[in-house]
């Protein structure tokens, strides 16, 4: 049975908590906001995406198109690493029953609200062409569905469980949607999905056999790094989703006997921050400054907030008395998974990228800023 609601149940999503920027010394100043009962000012998304844009081909040109093309494999690896983090965290927490239903409701409702709204808007505007409009609306819905959840209590809270689990649906449905976009045709789609999952399982099995049985730190780091690179690499080679590959592997490591999940979490700590910062910077540098960023991004902010509030309301009804009335607002910060999914769209369906990546980044930054004023954390000195 779950505990009744109290303030500590509103927790920061532990997955996103692991993704704090590595430069702790300069974020320390912003933590004073938390002491005043306000959310910390700086989310990694708010800092590194604009930084990437400024350094990218549309900015100072420090990251040229050629450089970005060379960095493409690193994006796949970072996406797989993110998937592993999500998988390991979910596998370790083993949420059952109510939170799963609540998260499915919350993420599903957000997805439906955003997809329906954009299907309507894009069809009315007549751009992009009809078939692409369906894909764009669906992908925007998926990117909008994940959330980081705000607050300070990270472990064991129901809200944190829900915020963790709402990353799952976009990754899983996103894998199918992206495979469909990249390989139209039922047979090819099924083969691609099955192969991506099967290879992820094989690599996860190999990793499980290696991690615990290697005592030399440098050698084990090579196996961990190699496994992540291979997960991302095979998924990219198959035009599949590295996020889904990583998720599968993370879940396998968490559920198999032994401590493979703890080994990978510990060793990943060495390079997860640089990888994730790089992911955000590359996302920023890849954004095309097109009118679509504004005319899709602006409605996306509003529709996503509406979706999250509606999802939060539905989730509260699934967990009566266990989360507060402001639960929906707590889910407004988007975290990193949505943007990662948008970056994956850029890799697999570059034609659709300009309708997705820029608007999702804009909506993500705006949602983080909005959350500053909507949410009080309750952090005390």
Crossing angle for the helix pair 350-374 and 130-145, nearest 10 degrees? 40
Please report how close the Cβ of residue 237 comes to another protein at its closest, in angstroms: 4
Give how far Cα 142 sits from Cα of 114, 138, 190, 218, Å. Answer: 8, 6, 20, 38
Question: Which residues neighbour 185 within 8 Å (Cβ) at sequence distance 6 or greater?
Answer: none
Please report how close the Cβ of residue 53 comes to another protein at its closest, in angstroms: 22
Residue number, 158 or 203, with CB nearest to another protein:
203
Please report how close the Cβ of residue 146 comes to another protein at its closest, in angstroms: 24
Q: Which of 96, 116, 262 is nearest to 164 (CA)?
A: 96
Residue number, 97 or 185, with CB nearest to another protein:
185
Please report how close the Cβ of residue 256 comes to another protein at its closest, in angstroms: 11
Please report how close the Cβ of residue 77 comes to another protein at its closest, in angstroms: 6
Residue number, 240 or 335, with CB nearest to another protein:
240
Please report how close the Cβ of residue 72 comes to another protein at its closest, in angstroms: 6
Reading the block at residue 231, the tokens are 């997960």
Question: Which residues neighbour 257 within 8 Å (Cβ) at sequence distance 6 or greater?
Answer: none
Residue number, 9 or 220, with CB nearest to another protein:
220
Crossing angle for the helix pair 65-93 and 217-237, nearest 10 degrees? 110
Question: Which residues neighbour 106 within 8 Å (Cβ) at sequence distance 6 or greater?
Answer: 162, 166, 308, 311, 312, 314, 315, 331
Using DSSP's 3-state secondary structure scheme, residue 39 falls into: coil
Residue number, 101 or 206, with CB nearest to another protein:
206
Residue number, 141 or 246, with CB nearest to another protein:
246
Residue number, 199 or 377, with CB nearest to another protein:
199
Residue number, 81 or 99, with CB nearest to another protein:
81
Residue number, 8 or 67, with CB nearest to another protein:
67
For residues 208 and 260, give the distance between their C-alpha atoms in angstroms, rounded to a whole number. 6
Q: Which of 215, 219, 210, 204 is nearest to 254 (CA)?
A: 204
Please report how close the Cβ of residue 26 comes to another protein at its closest, in angstroms: 13
Reading the block at residue 30, the tokens are 């912003």
Please report how close the Cβ of residue 230 comes to another protein at its closest, in angstroms: 3
For residues 163 and 154, give the distance between their C-alpha atoms in angstroms, rounded to a whole number. 10
What is the maximum span of the chain, computed from C-alpha positions, in angstroms?
61
**What is the phi/psi pair of residue 38, to 5°?**
-110, 160
For residues 238 and 242, give the distance between their C-alpha atoms in angstroms, rounded to a whole number. 10
171, 101 in Cβ contact below 8 A?
A: no
Give how far Cα 271 sits from Cα of 195, 247, 339, Å. Answer: 28, 18, 20
Write out the residues near another protein by the rule CB under 8 A: 69-70, 72-74, 76-77, 191-192, 195, 198-199, 202-203, 205-207, 209-223, 225-234, 236-239, 258-259, 262-263, 274
Please report how close the Cβ of residue 73 comes to another protein at its closest, in angstroms: 4
Please report how close the Cβ of residue 191 comes to another protein at its closest, in angstroms: 6
The tokens 């996020």 sit on which residue? 243
Residue number, 188 or 298, with CB nearest to another protein:
188
């Amino acid at each position: 049975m779950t505990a009744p609601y109290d303030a500590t149940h509103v927790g920061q999503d532990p997955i996103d908590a692991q993704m704090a920027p590595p430069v702790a010394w300069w974020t320390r100043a912003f933590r004073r906001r938390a002491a005043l009962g306000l959310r910390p000012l700086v989310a990694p998304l708010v800092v590194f995406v604009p930084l990437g844009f400024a350094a990218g081909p549309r900015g100072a040109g420090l990251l040229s198109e050629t450089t970005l093309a060379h960095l493409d494999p690193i994006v796949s690896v970072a996406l797989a690493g993110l998937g592993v983090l999500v998988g390991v965290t979910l596998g370790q927490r083993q949420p059952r029953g109510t939170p799963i239903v609540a998260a499915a409701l919350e993420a599903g409702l957000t997805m439906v609200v955003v997809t329906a709204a954009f299907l309507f808007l894009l069809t009315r505007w007549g751009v992009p062409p009809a078939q692409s409009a369906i894909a764009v609306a669906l992908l925007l819905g998926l990117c909008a569905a994940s959330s980081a959840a705000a607050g300070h209590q990270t472990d064991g809270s129901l809200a944190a469980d829900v915020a963790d689990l709402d990353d799952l649906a976009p990754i899983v449905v996103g894998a199918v949607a992206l495979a469909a976009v990249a390989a139209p045709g039922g047979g090819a789609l099924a083969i691609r999905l099955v192969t991506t999952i099967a290879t992820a399982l094989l690599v996860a099995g190999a990793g499980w056999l290696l991690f615990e049985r290697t005592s030399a730190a440098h050698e084990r780091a090579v196996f961990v790094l190699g496994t992540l690179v291979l997960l991302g690499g095979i998924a990219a080679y198959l035009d599949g989703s590295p996020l889904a590959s990583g998720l599968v592997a993370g879940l396998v490591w968490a559920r198999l006997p032994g401590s493979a999940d703890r080994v990978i979490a510990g060793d990943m700590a060495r390079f997860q921050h640089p990888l994730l910062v790089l992911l955000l910077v590359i996302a920023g540098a890849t954004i095309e400054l097109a009118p679509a960023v504004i005319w899709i991004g602006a409605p996306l902010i509003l529709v996503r907030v509406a979706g999250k509030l509606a999802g939060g309301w539905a989730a509260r009804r699934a967990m009566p008395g266990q989360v507060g009335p402001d639960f929906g607002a707590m889910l407004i910060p988007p975290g990193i998974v949505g943007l990662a999914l948008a970056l994956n769209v850029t890799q697999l369906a570059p034609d659709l990228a300009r309708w997705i990546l820029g608007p999702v980044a804009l909506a993500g930054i705006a949602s983080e800023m909005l959350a500053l004023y909507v949410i009080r954390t309750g952090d005390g000195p």
